[in-house]
Amino acid sequence: MSNSMIGRAAAATPPGAARQIRGLSDRAIAWIFVAPTIFLLLAVNIFPLIWTIRLSFTNFRANRPNAEVSWVGLSNYQRILTDPDIWRTMQATAHFLVWTLVFQVLIGFTLAWLINRKFKGNDLWTTIIVLPMMLSPAVVGNFWTFLYQPQIGLFNYVVAFFTGIDPTSFTMIGDVALAPWAIVIVDTWMWTPFVMLICLAGLRSIPDAIYEAAECDRASSWRQFWTITIPMTLPFLMLAVLFRGIENFKMFDLVVQLTGGGPGNTTTLTSIDLKREAFEKWRTGYSSAYAIILFVTVFGLASIYVKALNKVKER
Amino acid sequence: MHCTRTLSVAAVALTAATAAARADDLTLCWAAWDPANALVELSKDFEAQSGNKMSFEFVPWPNFADRMLNELNSGGKLCDLMIGDSQWIGLGAEAGHYIKLNDFFEANGITMDDFLPATVKGYAEWPKGTPNYWALPAYADVVGWTYRKDWFDRPELQAEFQETYGRPLEAPTTLDELMDVAKFFQGREIDGKTVYGAAIYTERGSEGITMGVTNVLYNYGFDYGTPENPYQLEGVVNSPEAAKGLEFYKELYDCCTPPGSSDWYMSEDIDAYKSGQVALQMNFAFIWPGVEADPNVGGGKSGYFANPEGPDGHFAQLGGQGISVVSYTDSKDAALDYIKWFAQPEIQQRWWDMGGASAMRAVVENPDFATSQPYAQTFLDSMAIVKDFWAEPAYASLLLSMQDRVHSYVVAGQGTAQEALDALVADWTEIFQDEGKM
């Protein structure tokens, strides 16, 4: 049947074309299949990257297409790396990144560990817990501004209820000391379920037989946790950290909605600053250099991290 | 007879066909706010007269500049007509986003002498002070103040204020008086509710705190350059007097605003005022018709006053916009027809009657104007003392620097007022050097 179909197809192919296709090597045919994808990648990823690198050495402004463009060498890079304001945004980003990862991993893993234990209503709780990550970051940012309102906000009310302090005596998004934590809390609330789901997948992938064998060897629960559960879920945890780390390094919408980068520039993360430079001030050359520096930073850190992840997986 | 009728029918058909052929779909871009709704209603008259169809693209204020400047910078054809912010005029003119209107004005008998001089300078001219027009003044606006007249009228509060400050409780005329009134109301119980002194602009993301703080800075001697050197910043932007003005704004924020008002602009101020949280509200005059119509604070419960005088001057921050024809439009003639229609005195009068704010002298200098609304006299007083932010092509960079420096001092409490203004001078100097203007 299939032979006859092939035969019919071969017979239907014009002799000239058939000869041509038959004449192509496997390598050539492979190139024909791969070429559209490579072309797309070059057009959408590689060319813009090269173009951005080129622009980063100029004073080009996208809103002045007719203005003269000058070659400024490394001056954009020099200005960025010596600008204390940019280092402040880097610090704000590092604070946000580190603390969100710490909280999300700790809480996410704990929740996954609890959910993994069979109990009544397990599915219902899982659904409730993952709800926040299904919401739009802009919506979350918006309604948390209300929750943080000193006069009517639920957050201040709850804090006041447990501590006895006046709810109007502190403002989470208007205080320099509290605002960085305000954005950490909201991101943790929203994205801990994501970490939990990945950890849950890791926990459920551990065969019961390993725990049974450990019990036969009279290993304590604590010992089982440290020698079976943690090592076997570590690759999953590291994957969750990688995903959340990349996401939070480029965090924009949630924080813009919550604080607008304020008070002052306390919560101005690099992505917010970059957007202002590129699309509000329209310093395209300067912001290209800024973007390249961030790209190299993320790419470098991610590469080191992925190597570490692969080593953990190989163990 | 038959021939005449045939010719008449043919003439009518030809006219209709010509009108149909000329009919265009015009899109007018503006901010999403109450006056925009009034303009939609007003524009129905233009549609009926011209046969053109009007569409509207309205964007909320916090995203307005971002969205519309992207549209202009990308040469987009979405907007045929743009009611752009006053500060965009330099960019609109120099980057070729707007069509120059001088010849059109001359050909159609439109003269800028018919409009309030401050609005012509603020909304239409570039370079400033030269007769080069890129817009028709469309919406006159200025920052002013609203106050709870019903609270001010209470005998017990009047007595207490008189005893404390030695003068009657009334609309303040100086910034020091404003501070006293704000302090007087801060934390006070009125009708069983805790109320606060004033709702002021503190917004960080777009232009809010700059539009607020300038109302104090101008009156403490702050300026944008000098008449001799428009880019003279040192000693003008960061003078010791200007630093005192910035300290005043911070004190007002620290002492007399509602908790949590660290990122407030127009809508938050309106909400605080209408919900009875504050005695005073700083806001653009466009909100006044809405205040007057509000069941809680309208109908005589509110009063209006111009931005109070300071030790070194009496100014108020200009708001408002001009209407321009976007150079990328395919419907240039129809867009110009709209401007010609809009410039008619009777249309401008209807614009004011419907809740718009005309900048035409025939409207605002009409003897009945000052008594036409409870806020009309304050509007006139305020328009007489306006001063505007930079309208340079690099205005966005200038604005973002000011937002950053001022918010860092006033709200975040970082550094001193003098340091904030010194840093602002450094930022602005760098921007003007990049622009080749210094």
Q: pLDDT digit string (tens) for B102-157?
A: 999 999 999 999 999 999 999 999 999 899 999 999 999 999 999 999 999 999 99
Residues 6+ apart with CB under 8 A from B173: B305, B308, B309
Looking at the structure, tell me whether residues B162 and B126 fall in a common domain.
no
A59-73, A294-308, B272-286, B299-313: least confidently modelled range: A59-73
Q: Which residues of A touch B70 (CB under 8 A)?
A: 279
In the stretch 31-70 of chain A, residues with CB closer than 8 A to chain B read 59, 62-64, 66
When pLDDT is cut at 50, 70 and 90, the band that residue B22 belongs to is low
Looking at residue B15, its pLDDT comes to 46
Looking at the structure, tell me whether residues B425 and B309 fall in a common domain.
yes
Supply angle C-alpha A245, A266, A79, rounded to 5: 80
Contact check, Cβ <8 Å, A259/B411: no
Q: Residue B53 is inside which H or E element, if any?
A: strand B53-59
Looking at the structure, tell me whether residues A165 and A215 fall in a common domain.
yes
A20-29, A68-77, B316-325, B412-421: least confidently modelled range: A20-29
Looking at the structure, tell me whether residues A39 and A177 fall in a common domain.
no
Q: Which residues of B touch A262 (CB under 8 A)?
A: 204-205, 262-263, 407, 411-412
Q: Is residue B206 part of a domain?
A: yes
Looking at the structure, tell me whether residues A16 and A137 fall in a common domain.
no
Looking at residue A24, its pLDDT comes to 84
The ipTM is 0.79
Residue B41 one-letter amino acid = E
B338/B328 Cα distance (integer angstroms): 16
Q: How far is B437 from chain A (nearest CA, A)?
A: 14
Looking at the structure, tell me whether residues B127 and B260 fall in a common domain.
no
Q: Is residue A63 part of a domain?
A: no
Looking at the structure, tell me whether residues A233 and A272 fall in a common domain.
yes
Q: Is residue A62 part of a domain?
A: no
More confident residue, A1 or A57: A57
Looking at the structure, tell me whether residues B416 and B381 fall in a common domain.
no
Looking at the structure, tell me whether residues B412 and B351 fall in a common domain.
no
When pLDDT is cut at 50, 70 and 90, the band that residue A23 belongs to is confident
**Span A262-287, mean pLDDT?**
93
Looking at residue B17, its pLDDT comes to 46
Looking at the structure, tell me whether residues B155 and B166 fall in a common domain.
yes
B48/B27 Cα distance (integer angstroms): 16
Looking at the structure, tell me whether residues A12 and A100 fall in a common domain.
no
Flag whether residue A148 sits within 8 Å of chain B, measured between CB atoms. Answer: yes
CATH of the domain at B71: 3.40.190.10
3-state secondary structure of B56: strand
Whether B21 shows a pLDDT value over 60: the answer reads no
Which residue intervals of B186-265 are DSSP H helices? 208-217, 240-256
When pLDDT is cut at 50, 70 and 90, the band that residue A18 belongs to is low
Looking at the structure, tell me whether residues A16 and A90 fall in a common domain.
no
Looking at residue A62, its pLDDT comes to 86
Give me the number of domains chain B comprises: 2
Q: Mean pLDDT in chain B?
A: 92
Looking at the structure, tell me whether residues A132 and A221 fall in a common domain.
yes
Looking at the structure, tell me whether residues B294 and B326 fall in a common domain.
no
**Residue of B94, B204, B407, B431 best to disrupt the A interface, most CBs of A under 10 A:** B204
Contact check, Cβ <8 Å, B258/A66: no
Looking at the structure, tell me whether residues B46 and B152 fall in a common domain.
no
User: Residue B313 is part of which domain span?
Assistant: 143-317+394-434
Using the 3D structure, point to which of B352, B367, B387 is the last residue of a domain.
B387
Looking at the structure, tell me whether residues A32 and A145 fall in a common domain.
no
When pLDDT is cut at 50, 70 and 90, the band that residue A22 belongs to is low
**Span A89-99, mean pLDDT?**
96
Q: Is residue B295 part of a domain?
A: yes
Q: Is residue A221 part of a domain?
A: yes
Q: Is residue A69 part of a domain?
A: no
Closest C-alpha among B150, B129, B269 to residue B198: B269
Looking at the structure, tell me whether residues B83 and B112 fall in a common domain.
yes
Q: State pLDDT tens for residues B73-117.
A: 889 999 999 999 998 999 999 989 999 999 999 999 999 999 999
pTM over 0.95: no
Q: Is residue B4 part of a domain?
A: no
When pLDDT is cut at 50, 70 and 90, the band that residue A10 belongs to is low
Whether B355 shows a pLDDT value over 80: the answer reads yes
Hey, how many other C-beta atoms are within 10 angstroms of the C-beta on A163?
9
Contact check, Cβ <8 Å, B397/A263: no
Q: Is residue A84 part of a domain?
A: yes
Contact check, Cβ <8 Å, B412/A173: no
Q: Residue A286 is inside which H or E element, if any?
A: helix A284-314
User: Residue A141 is part of which domain span?
Assistant: 76-314
Q: Mean pLDDT in chain A?
A: 91
**Span A174-179, mean pLDDT?**
94
Looking at the structure, tell me whether residues A131 and A254 fall in a common domain.
yes
> Beta-strand (E) ranges in B200-338?
278-284, 302-306, 316-317, 321-325
B93/B84 Cα distance (integer angstroms): 12
When pLDDT is cut at 50, 70 and 90, the band that residue B430 belongs to is very high
Helix, strand and coil content of chain A, in percent to the nearest 5, comes to 75, 0, 25
Q: Is residue B20 part of a domain?
A: no
Q: Which residues of B touch A175 (CB under 8 A)?
A: 262
Q: Contact, B140 vs B383, CB < 8 A?
A: yes
Q: Is residue B14 part of a domain?
A: no
Looking at residue B14, its pLDDT comes to 44
> Beta-strand (E) ranges in B131-203?
136-139, 143-148, 188-190, 193-199
| Percent of chain B clearing pLDDT 90 (strictly above) | 85
Q: Is residue A67 part of a domain?
A: no
Looking at the structure, tell me whether residues A133 and A29 fall in a common domain.
no
Q: Is residue A66 part of a domain?
A: no
Looking at residue B206, its pLDDT comes to 87
When pLDDT is cut at 50, 70 and 90, the band that residue B160 belongs to is very high
Flag whether residue B290 sits within 8 Å of chain A, measured between CB atoms. Answer: no
Closest C-alpha among A91, A149, A79, A83 to residue A267: A91
Looking at the structure, tell me whether residues A125 and A255 fall in a common domain.
yes
Tell me phi and psi for residue B152, to 5 degrees: -60, -30
Whether B16 shows a pLDDT value over 50: the answer reads no
Q: Residue B20 is inside which H or E element, if any?
A: helix B2-22
Whether A156 shows a pLDDT value over 90: the answer reads yes
**Span B378-400, mean pLDDT?**
93
Q: State pLDDT tens for residues A101-115.
A: 999 999 999 999 999
Contact check, Cβ <8 Å, A262/B407: yes
Looking at the structure, tell me whether residues A88 and A44 fall in a common domain.
no
Looking at the structure, tell me whether residues B74 and B101 fall in a common domain.
yes
Give me the number of domains chain A comprises: 2
**Span A282-310, mean pLDDT?**
93
Nearest residue in chain B measured CA to CA from A147: B260
Contact check, Cβ <8 Å, B412/A262: yes
More confident residue, B184 or A169: B184
Q: Which residues of A touch B61 (CB under 8 A)?
A: none
When pLDDT is cut at 50, 70 and 90, the band that residue B5 belongs to is low
| Percent of chain B clearing pLDDT 70 (strictly above) | 95
**Span A190-219, mean pLDDT?**
94
B137/B322 Cα distance (integer angstroms): 4
B411/A175 Cα distance (integer angstroms): 8
Whether B19 shows a pLDDT value over 90: the answer reads no
Q: Is residue B383 part of a domain?
A: yes
